[in-house]
């Protein structure tokens, strides 16, 4: 198995529990983890939509790990996703201040996965030249 495949699968496995914690039972998990009241229908709706987005990307990354023809696209989507989240979290840190420690861990992981993803894209592109 190539490093890109392992990386995509690792990212997918790591994102799956986060997706489920946001959307499977948001009123319970978000209250427990972050003291967020997700009881209102609109809040639950938003977090379930986020779960759907996360699960769609998990499936795409698994497909990219298994199918070479979409692997590069899966890596690009992973980089955009991770660095996009990291940018939003960084903006929030600057504007809003320090969040729950777990969200800071997410930020560090997102930056790490984004940077490694860029390196893997570069390596893949150089191998194809």
pLDDT digits (tens, 9 = 90+) for 10-27: 999 999 999 999 898 989
DSSP summary character for residue 39: -
Domain ranges of the chain: 3-128
pLDDT digits (tens, 9 = 90+) for 19-63: 999 898 989 999 998 999 989 999 999 999 999 999 999 999 999
Q: Enter the pTM of the model.
A: 0.92
Six-digit token string for 105: 């861990």
**Any idea of the CA torsion for 67, 48, 34, 99, to the nearest 10 degrees?**
60
């Amino acid at each position: 198995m190539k490093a890109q495949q392992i990386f995509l699968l690792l990212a997918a496995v790591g994102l799956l529990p986060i997706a489920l914690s946001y959307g499977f039972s948001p009123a319970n998990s978000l209250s427990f983890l972050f003291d967020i009241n997700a009881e209102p229908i609109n809040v639950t709706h938003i977090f379930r939509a986020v779960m759907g987005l996360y699960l769609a990307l998990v499936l795409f990354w698994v497909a990219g790990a298994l199918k070479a023809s979409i692997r590069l696209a899966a890596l690009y989507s992973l980089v955009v996703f991770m660095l996009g989240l990291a940018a939003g979290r960084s903006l929030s840190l600057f504007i809003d201040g320090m969040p729950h420690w777990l969200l800071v861990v997410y930020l560090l992981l997102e930056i790490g996965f984004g940077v490694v993803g860029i390196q893997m894209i570069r390596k893949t592109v150089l191998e194809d030249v």
